Structure 1
Amino acid sequence: MLDVQQQANTDTRNRWDSWSSLRKMHTEIWDKLSVSHKPLSGRALLLGAGNGNDVDIQKLESLFDEIVIVDIDPDALNCFMEKVKQPDKFKSMQLDLTGFANQVPDLKNMSEPEIIGLINTLKPNSELASLTGKFDFIMGCNYTTQLIGPKFMMHNQQSGSTYVVAVNQFTVKVLENIFYHLRNLLKDDGLLLHSTDTFEMHTNSATGYSSPATKPIMEATKGDLSKLSEIVPVFGSLAAQSLTISGSVMTTVMMIGLEFKRLFIIPWHFQRTATIERIYINFLTAFTKK
């Protein structure tokens, strides 16, 4: 699984400039939460921090006294640390959020039933358990859709197939284990900001391809993606059609002990070429402890 994450981080390593709008939106959300909840300060934890392209690192440094960044890819963490101005505030930790990454072999020559059999032997046991102390602020940096899907969804499986259902159910188990640890790591008055890419808008003018969620979202917003927060019922309809990205849906078990505070919906302009445009619709959900 490390190989998949390393390739993804390598592919996006040079996106600092093109992801500036995402960093700006994240900063605006932090500012809003500082007003509605309490000023962000103290000790922060970033999950799936990667190369650091999607957060304003200097803003982080100005807000927090200690910042722990976690990722399975040490090269990405090194890339993140190259961008910081105050390294004494940071602690970089290579952790496997699933707890079984080194138990997953190359799946290319395995059949779907064989992979389902493998899944049934894997036990989620996040290495977040090794962290000590509690945090004032925890942010998930769009990591939940990257943990299982990119490794296990290798083919164009049909939504609702036995294999896809098995992978999605396993993903939920992994995330429920992670959120168990997050609840324990969050201070009683702390804030958890769960950010995840939830829908994909993907078009290719050369092939004519358009991802299933693209047209409904564009029609509902009339092409103005600043209006995403106004079309929540549309997102509910798309979710009912199983058009969410695997790993993006929160379950009631994940939210045990957490109290919902706010939802932000923003566009992540992930990729744009002469023929391809890929935009992820990110849901950022703020929670406190109950």
Structure 2
Amino acid sequence: MTAESAFIASLRAIATHPAARDLADDCAVLQVGAETLIITHDAMAEGVHFLPGQDPADVAWKLVASNLSDLAAKGARPLGVLLGYQLSEDDARFAEGLRAVLSHYDVPLLGGDTIAANGAQVLGLTALGLATHRPVPSRSGARPGDTLWLTGPIGAAMLGLEALQEDPAAIAEASLAYRRPQALLAEGQQLAPLVTAMMDISDGLLLDAMRMAAASDVTLAIERAAVPIAVPEPRRDQALRWGDDYQLLFTLPAGVHPPCQAQQIGMVQQAGLHPLVLDGTAPTGRLGYEHG
């Protein structure tokens, strides 16, 4: 168990409100009168989630898009964001990027907080959304016999980071997937009425699929060759373990087909010895990115 997973496990005794979903999901789901509010918060640290010296406008974009991706996995319509910002050497450039990404998604900035501190920059964002369908999709609804799907190829962010590391000033298409990921809000809203489970891929396909399987108490059987990738074939295994792609991973009842572009990558089986199998065998080694 990593330090991150151990700490989250210790918080479950505190997070007893039903909206917290036992901390087994990416968002809180809060019933407010006749509406369902979707709330998520993600943080990013310099040197971990973005490169030192990276364009602050790109950092702002990624901070917003990664949070909106959590809303997308709930089929939510964004209402606004709250920013937690540590002042840096180029705050104006960050503000430019923030304005651009919020305009792109037509999402308002509602407030937040700013601080000054020493050391690597740490940023946080809270995104608020409104459910477009109830029940709101979760990680825990996958059932044996369901089909397993992915909205698009993975691995593009890995190539993007490598391009940026080779040339810190790179603004070419090669680094775009890492610098400015896309939140699949429209696809999430289309899928929400149909899926039995859904989440976004932020920490690696295999690790996030493992989390879905554990939350649903099933085994997810993935066909390695069926997974769409954006990298050369020899790097397929790396792509399966890489994060930052923000595709949607979801399950559908047998015979139901998605209303948006997606690729079937496997099946949901009765819970077995391993929650995740890849071509019939439990994958070994690091499955994705975890802190600690």
Higher relative contact order (CA 8 A, sep 6+): 2
Q: What TM-score, normalized by structure 2, do the two folds share? A: 0.25
Higher helix share: 1
